[in-house]
Structure 1
Amino acid sequence: METSFGPRGSSTEDISRPQLGNVPYGSVITTCTTPGVIALTFDDGPLDYTNDLLDLLDERDVHATFFVAGNNRAKGHIDDSSNPWPAVMRRMYSAGHHIASHTWTHRNLNEVNSTIRRSEMIYNEMAFRNLFGWIPTYMRAPYLECNAASGCLDEMSELGYHVVDQNIDTKDYENDSPALIQISKDRYSAGISSNSDSNQYIVLAHDVHDQTVHNLTAFMIDTAQDRGYRLVTVGECLGDPRENWYRTVSRGRDVTSTESATPTRTVPPTNVSVTTNTATSTATGGLAILVRGQPSEAAVPGTATVDRAKATVEQAVMQTLGRARLPEVTFTTPPTVFVAQVSGHHAETTRQ
C-alpha cells in the first residue's frame, strides 16, 4: 500500500520564515566556506543502522549532519511513537548533530508539481515540529534534484531553506557489500586533498546502508583526521550559528501509537472515481480519472507503477478542484483490481 498521509497536527505552511544569517537561501550549496573542514552528511534515515552510526560518532567525538526523510522506505512516520524513530531522532539531536530535511517521502522535486513539492517539505516540517518544537532551515533534495527550471529553488527560498548539495559523493548506495565498499573508500580518498589549509568538503553518504555505517564511516573519519581536517556539521562548515539551523514553532502533542492510526486530514472529502469502463478510458488499457463525475485531462497508463499512478491522480484532483494542498490518496493493487481512495471515498475497477 502507498500512502500520502502526513503527520498529525496543524500545518506549518503559514509560519513566519525570516531569512537569517549569511548563508544563501534557495541556492545550491556544494562546498563549505571554512577551510580545513569536512562535513560528513548522511541521507535517508533514520533506519536500522542509524543507532550504530550514532554510537560510532559518539566514540570518535565527531558531529555529522543528517538529512532526514520522514516517511520513506516503508519505515513509518518519524514522529510516531509506535516506531523506534522518535527516540533515535532525539538521541541524534541531543548528541549535537545537525538535523536537516530530506523531504517526507523522497520524491524527485524536479518531477512533481508545486503543490506536491511544498507538501513534501511541509509534512516533514510537521513531523519535526511534533518531535522537537522546531523545523530545520537546511534541506537536501532527494537525488540532488532541485533546480531553477522546475521552480524548486524559488520555492525552497520562499520556505526558508538552504539547499545543500555536495562536492564528494561516495556513491555508497552502489557499493553496499564487503566486496564493493572499497570503491566508495577510493572515491572518498581520491577526492580529499592532502592540503587541508585551502580545501573543504561536504561528503554525501547514507546511514541506511550496512557497509556505510559499519565500514566506510570509520575510514572517512580516519582519512580526514590523518590529512589534517576537522570534522564538523554543515552548519559549522558554512559559518552559520547553531541558532540559525532551526526555526522554533508551536509544538504539537507527541504522536502516540493510538493517534498514529488516524492521519491528519488536509482536504475535505472529495469524490474521485477511477474507471476503465467509460468513453474516457485510455487506449492502452489504463485508467481514466473522473473527478466529481467529470473526466480529467490526466489518465493513468496501463503500464504505470503505483507511484506514478498516485502522482497522476493527485495532480488531477488538485488541478480540477484547485486544491492548495496535497490530497490524501491511498492505493492498493490486487492482481486485477485498482483501488484509489481520496479522503475516505473510493472507487474500484477491474483492469480491461
Structure 2
Amino acid sequence: MLFESVVALALALSASAKPVPSPIDVIKRDHVAGIVINKCAKPGVLTLAYDDGPYQYTSSLVDTLNNAGVKGTFFLTGTLYGCIYNQRAAVKKAYDSGHQIASHTWTHPHVGSLGAAQIRSEMERVEQAFVNIFGRKPQYVRPPYLETGGQFLGVMRELNYTVVTNDVDAGDWNNQSPQQSQQRFQQAGAAGDGHIPLMHETYQGTVTTLTSWLIAWARSNNLQIVTVAECLNDAEGAYKPGTFEGNGQTTC
C-alpha cells in the first residue's frame, strides 16, 4: 500500500522529460504529507511504536528501551490520561534519550467527525506542548483510532504532516495478553519491509513483557530496531525544521 501510493505521487510530481523519483526519495524530500503510511520502506528493521501516552509507565518504558540500546517512537496526546505537563520530565527524558516523539492529537478525538479548524487546533496544541517541553515540533502523527476520514488528511497536507498507521496490531487495547500479541508478530513474520506496530504504553503488559519479548525477537531475527522516521529513511525528518518559542504554559 505504501509503495503504490508513493509511486503514484512520484509519477504525478515528475515531468515527462525528467526521471521519476524513487519512492524513498519522495519520502525523504516531501514526507509524503497527507498520505497514509502503514509499513516501513525497507527490510531488516522493526519499529516499537506506542500510542496514548504520556502515562505512568512512560519513564520506565524509556528505561527499558535505553537499557537495551534501542529507540522507540512515542505518539503522545495532550490530555488523554491526564495533562501532558504532569509528565513533563518523562517526555523530556524520552526526547533527550533519542526516542522519536510524535503527535497523537491533543484530546484523542474521532478526527473524521471534526471540522478543519478543530483538527488544526488538535495538532497545534500538541505542537506547542512539545515546544514548551523540549523545543521541537513533531513531523509525524498517528491519528486516534487510526481514523483518516473526513477532513483529516486534507488538513495534514496543509500542515505538512507525515501520517502513520500500522501493519501489525498488538491488540493490547482489546484485552489481548502479551503472549497473544507475540503470536501476532510471529504470524506477521520478520521478512519483507519492517513492521510499524500498533501498541499502547498505557498497558503494563505491553511496557514490560511485550516490549522485552519484541527486543529479543528482533535480535533473533537479525532485525534492527529503529524509530518510525528511520524506518522510512527519514532519520533527520522526525521534527519540523526551525526553532520555536515556548509560551510558558505548564498546565492543560
Whether TM-score is above 0.5 comes out as: yes
Asked whether the equivalents of residues 134 and 251 of structure 1 are also in contact (C-alpha less than 8 Å), the reply is no
For 1:19-55, what per-residue CA distance to the aligned partner results, in whole angstroms no more than 9, with x for missing partners? 9724311000011112111111000001011111111
For 1:112-136, what per-residue CA distance to the aligned partner results, in whole angstroms no more than 9, with x for missing partners? 2222111111111111121122211
CA distance in 2, matches of 1:169, 1:161: 22
Asked whether the equivalents of residues 131 and 254 of structure 1 are also in contact (C-alpha less than 8 Å), the reply is no
Aligned to 1:141: 143
Asked whether the equivalents of residues 106 and 125 of structure 2 are also in contact (C-alpha less than 8 Å), the reply is yes
* Cα RMSD, aligned residues only: 1.8
- 1:1-352 matches, cutoff 5 A: 21-73=29-81, 75-76=82-83, 78=84, 80=85, 83=86, 85-147=87-149, 150-175=150-175, 180-193=177-190, 195=191, 198-243=192-237, 245-256=239-250, 260=251
Asked whether the equivalents of residues 141 and 162 of structure 2 are also in contact (C-alpha less than 8 Å), the reply is yes
For 1:132-165, what per-residue CA distance to the aligned partner results, in whole angstroms no more than 9, with x for missing partners? 2221110000000013xx1211110101100001
Point out the structure with the larger strand share: 1
CA distance in 1, matches of 2:143, 2:72: 18
Using structure 2 for the length normalisation, give the TM-score.
Answer: 0.84
- Describe the SS at the equivalent of 2:217: helix
CA distance in 2, matches of 1:29, 1:174: 23
Asked whether the equivalents of residues 51 and 88 of structure 1 are also in contact (C-alpha less than 8 Å), the reply is yes
- One-letter identity of the residue aligned with 1:226: S
Aligned to 1:332: none
Q: Which has the higher contact order (CA 8 A, sep 6+)?
A: 2
Point out the structure with the larger helix share: 2
- One-letter identity of the residue aligned with 2:99: H
CA distance in 2, matches of 1:23, 1:253: 28
1:243, CA displacement in angstroms?
4.7
Asked whether the equivalents of residues 133 and 248 of structure 1 are also in contact (C-alpha less than 8 Å), the reply is no
Task: Count how many residue pairs are aligned between Structure 1 and Structure 2.
Answer: 226
Asked whether the equivalents of residues 30 and 165 of structure 1 are also in contact (C-alpha less than 8 Å), the reply is yes
Bigger-Rg structure (1/2): 1
Using structure 1 for the length normalisation, give the TM-score.
Answer: 0.61
1:220, CA displacement in angstroms?
1.1
For 1:60-108, what per-residue CA distance to the aligned partner results, in whole angstroms no more than 9, with x for missing partners? 10101110101112x12x2x3xx2x111111001110011000000001
CA distance in 1, matches of 2:247, 2:160: 24
CA distance in 1, matches of 2:194, 2:34: 21
Structure 2 unaligned runs (5+)? 1-26
